[in-house]
């Protein structure tokens, strides 16, 4: 049987392995078998994708505000100080995303930490170091968590996927070692034949214990997915926008649940609103190859969710300064 080309393998790794990563001793061997190539070939292509910046890591995504705490925040930085303020944000250990967006509040970032007290301290440090007010937009309700990203732009069948996840989700009984384990997962698995054995050695646990615990965490929805974490812009999806609406509190849950199921919507949340300063409470992300395509997806999703009459802003991303996994546990030296 003829072996698939490297381009086909590359595409399939990016498209098919963003979720459902095999929780077995040799996961890359399982992937290799499905792709009909050798284990070494899979590892080599993944290493190259990471070196090129097409993927940030092979690892996990943690459900917000479960094992740790996080918040979305924004600063209005003068044009001549955007670079220096972005550098301050990027240097803050708990900040894992920093984006420049089209808005007077132009620098948007996510602050993460082991608990809300750490996040609050980080926000105060950022305000002190930049000299600018920080808008703290706390997560109130998640309607659509990160389940991956389709490279084709088609519908990822989110209704069926969400129903299946909800049906299979089990109750979560916390374990003291979960935070450190998932922290390693958010930083990325080592691209070696037995990555879980390597993690187990670092945690002074057995490989079986690590794999079994990850099965518990994924089944409970604490880790919504494990797999290839792609970088949208590096793969040609450069028209990425955060879209926000001012929705009456009585209608926001209905609208959010509907919006979350729309094709082209990658994330969807309800966040804290400030009636005078920032009245927006419903947020989503749209990724596309062009601005026109993004706006077309947005209009269709907005109409489907019954949001046409509500005030809206579209904040296209102009630059990504930082994109890493969330901080769940303090580094050993700082603990």
Question: What is the residue extent of each domain of the chain?
Answer: 1-60+140-321
Query: How far out from the chain centre does Cα 144 lie?
Result: 11
User: Residue 60 is inside which H or E element, if any?
Assistant: strand 55-61
Q: How far apart are CA 41 and CA 32, in angstroms?
A: 8
What is 1-60+140-321's CATH topology?
A: Arc Repressor Mutant, subunit A (1.10.10)
- 282-315 per-position pLDDT tens digit: 999 999 999 999 999 999 999 999 999 999 999 9
Give the pLDDT score at 237: 77
What's the pLDDT band for 163 if we cut at 50, 70, 90?
A: very low
Q: Identify which has the larger pLDDT, 90 or 167.
A: 90
d(CA 144, CA 276) in angstroms, rounded, equals 27
Summary count for the chain: helices (H), strands (E): 11, 11
Alpha-carbon span 73 to 107, nearest angstrom? 8
Beta pairing class for 107-113 and 135-137: unpaired
Binned at pLDDT 50, 70 and 90, residue 333 comes out as low
- Residue predicted with more confidence, 39 or 264: 39
Q: Are 235 and 151 in contact (CB under 8 A)?
A: yes
CA 165, CA 224: separation in Å to the nearest integer? 9
Would you say 64 and 139 are in contact if contact means Cβ atoms under 8 Å apart? yes
Q: What is the DSSP letter of 274?
A: B
Answer yes or no: are the C-beta atoms of 68 and 62 closer than 8 Å.
yes
> What is the Cα 333 distance to its own chain's centre?
27
> Is residue 335 very low, low, confident or very high in pLDDT (cuts 50, 70, 90)?
very low
Instruction: Report the pLDDT value the prediction gives residue 128, as an integer from 0 to 100.
Output: 98
């Amino acid at each position: 049987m003829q072996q698939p080309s490297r381009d086909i393998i590359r595409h399939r790794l990016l498209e098919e392995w963003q979720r459902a990563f095999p929780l077995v001793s040799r996961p890359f061997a399982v992937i290799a078998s499905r792709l009909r190539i050798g284990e070494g070939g899979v590892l080599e292509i993944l290493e190259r994708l990471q070196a090129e910046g097409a993927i940030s890591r092979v690892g996990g995504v943690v459900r917000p505000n479960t094992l740790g705490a996080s918040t979305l925040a924004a600063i209005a930085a003068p044009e001549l100080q955007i670079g220096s303020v972005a550098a301050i944000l990027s240097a803050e250990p708990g900040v894992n995303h920093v984006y420049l967006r089209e808005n007077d509040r132009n620098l948007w970032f996510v602050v993460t930490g082991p608990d809300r007290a750490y996040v609050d301290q980080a926000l105060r440090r950022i305000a002190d170091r930049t000299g600018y007010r920080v808008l703290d937009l706390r997560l109130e309700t998640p309607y659509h968590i990160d389940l991956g990203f389709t490279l084709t732009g088609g519908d990822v069948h989110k209704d069926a996927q969400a129903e299946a996840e909800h049906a299979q989700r089990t109750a979560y009984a916390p374990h003291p070692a979960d935070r450190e384990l998932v922290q390693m997962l958010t930083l990325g698995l080592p691209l070696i034949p037995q990555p879980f054995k390597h993690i187990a050695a670092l945690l002074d646990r057995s490989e079986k214990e690590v794999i079994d615990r990850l099965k518990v965490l994924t089944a409970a929805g604490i880790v919504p997915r494990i797999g290839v974490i792609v970088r949208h812009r590096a793969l040609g999806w450069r028209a990425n926008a955060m879209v926000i609406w001012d929705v009456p509190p009585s209608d926001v849950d209905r609208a959010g649940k509907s919006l979350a199921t729309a094709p082209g919507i990658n994330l969807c949340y309800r966040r804290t609103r400030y009636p005078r300063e920032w009245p927006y409470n419903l947020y989503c992300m749209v990724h596309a190859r062009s601005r026109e395509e993004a706006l077309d997806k947005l209009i269709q999703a907005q109409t489907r969710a019954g949001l046409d009459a509500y005030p809206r802003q579209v904040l296209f991303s102009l630059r990504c300064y930082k994109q890493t996994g969330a901080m769940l546990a303090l580094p050993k030296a700082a603990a």
